[in-house]
């Protein structure tokens, strides 16, 4: 049986761990050739090795998505290595929480830059490349539907105390998605977003391996949710539990396969039935 993404070229940011890693592995498992980005070279290369050890193809582009020079380097990695691009998943991100009266400008701009400005720059840089690829498709009598999936959050839909920066950015990426779906339809590109509820990643899981603290862009960021609070939150989810990263990846996958070629401008909620936070 032919795999649904055989031969496609997929670019995934923040692909070294968590949801991004599971997205990369899922797309590769369906035949896509991957360009993986992560801030941490070790975890990025580890994800690429997993794909290659399984018989897939993967390249890495290590670095911060917030770097203005990153988009060109990221996209050129795909063009030089695989000669095209079919899927772009803007997944990279983290949280840096604080109530608004204590939130610094640096906290605000860091999160906005990572979750909203970085996807904007990547997609802006991708447009002329995609336009050129579409013209080549037309010359050769092909019609290729390309895919963009932007990762959002239920925090962006309903807000969350202590996350003015994150909620603002995630709400913004939904608006950007809907606008770009209207711009890029003529290029045969679907543009959708996925808003996650509670997914079992280091953002909520204070496990012993990182102690709830991680360094991101030189800043010590506290991750995790109090275990008792998390247990209470789980009770609000109709399915009674947080989602796995593999289940989260499945939502992105649905928007990358041919069956979703006429779905665009949509925000898919992946939350186990949770409809508000």
Read out DSSP for the chain? ---TTTT-EEEESS-SSHHHHHHHHHHHHTT-EEEEEESSHHHHHHHHHHHHHTT--EEEEES-TTSTTHHHHHHHHHHHHHS---EEEE-------B-GGG--HHHHHHHHIIIIIHHHHHHHHHHHHHHHHHHHHHHTT----EEEEEEEEHHHHH--TTBHHHHHHHHHHHHHHHHHHHHHGGGTEEEEEEEE-SBSSTTT---TTTTTEEEETTEEEE----HHHHHHHHTTSTTSSPBPHHHHHHHHHHTTSGGGTT--S-EEEESTT----
Q: Is 262 among the residues known to form the active site?
A: no
* Active-site residue (options: 166, 196, 253, 262): 166
Q: Which residues form the catalytic set?
A: 166
């Amino acid at each position: 049986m032919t795999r649904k993404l055989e031969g496609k070229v997929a670019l995934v940011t923040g692909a070294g761990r968590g949801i991004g890693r599971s997205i990369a592995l899922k797309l590769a498992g369906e035949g896509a050739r991957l360009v993986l980005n992560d801030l941490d070279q070790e975890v990025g290369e580890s994800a690429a090795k997993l794909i290659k050890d399984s018989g897939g193809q993967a390249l890495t582009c290590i670095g911060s998505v917030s770097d203005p020079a990153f988009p060109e380097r990221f996209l050129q990695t795909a063009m030089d290595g695989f000669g095209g691009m079919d899927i772009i998943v803007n997944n990279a991100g983290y949280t840096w929480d604080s109530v608004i009266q204590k939130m610094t400008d640096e906290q605000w701009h860091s999160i906005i830059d990572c979750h909203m400005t970085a996807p904007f720059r990547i997609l802006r840089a991708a447009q002329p490349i995609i336009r050129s690829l579409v013209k080549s498709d037309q010359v050769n009598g092909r019609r290729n539907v390309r895919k963009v999936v932007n990762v959002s959050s239920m925090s962006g839909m309903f807000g969350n105390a202590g996350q003015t920066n994150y909620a603002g950015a995630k709400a913004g990426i939904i608006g950007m998605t809907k606008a770009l779906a209207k711009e890029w339809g003529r290029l045969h590109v679907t543009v959708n977003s996925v808003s996650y509820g509670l997914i079992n990643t280091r953002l909520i899981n204070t496990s012993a391996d990182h102690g709830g603290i991680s360094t991101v862009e030189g800043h010590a960021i506290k991750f995790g949710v109090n275990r008792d609070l998390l247990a209470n939150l789980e009770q609000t989810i109709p399915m009674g539990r947080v989602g796995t990263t593999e289940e989260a990846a499945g939502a992105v996958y649905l928007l990358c396969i041919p069956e979703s070629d006429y779905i665009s401008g949509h925000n898919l909620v992946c939350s186990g039935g949770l409809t508000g936070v």
